Amino acid sequence: MLSSRSLAALIGITLFGIALTACQDQASGQIIARNDARIVETLSNPPIHGCHRFPAGVTHINNQTQSSLLLYSTPDCTVPRGGQSDYLDIGASDYAVRTTGLWQSFSFAPD
């Protein structure tokens, strides 16, 4: 038979695990967006769902989160006709190609 301390510890560990699972709605880390040398936006632990719009066009992204990103040249995370989204892996950085235009938004890539 479990003692009351063992039972309390088991319940505490279980609740802690549930709390950690609930935090999966946010990407752990930072996304730093720049337009040339000027920082446009720094996001800490952003939500992983939905489309995220930058306040201004972005030429450089540094993804310091634990999730991969999809970068778009449109403000609503859609791919323009004849265009494409850019994939940015965990811990990577990238520059926008001048022919595709500035990045206007991003979403998190599905796992």
Q: How confident is the model at residue 82 (pLDDT cuts 50, 70, 90)?
A: confident
Q: What angle do CA 46, 47, 49 make, to 5 degrees?
A: 140
| CA nearest to 55, candidates 108, 107, 109, 103 | 103
pLDDT per residue over 56-80, tens digit each? 999 999 999 999 999 999 999 999 8
- Residue 2, pLDDT > 80, answer no
Domain ranges of the chain: 27-108
Residue 37: how many other CB atoms lie within 10 Å: 7
- Between residues 6 and 62, the one the model is more confident about: 62
pTM comes to: 0.75
Q: How confident is the model at residue 11 (pLDDT cuts 50, 70, 90)?
A: low
> What CATH code is assigned to 27-108?
2.60.20
* Maximum Cα interatomic distance, the chain, rounded to a whole number of Å: 69
- Do 33 and 39 touch, CB atoms closer than 8 A? yes
SS3 category, 7: helix
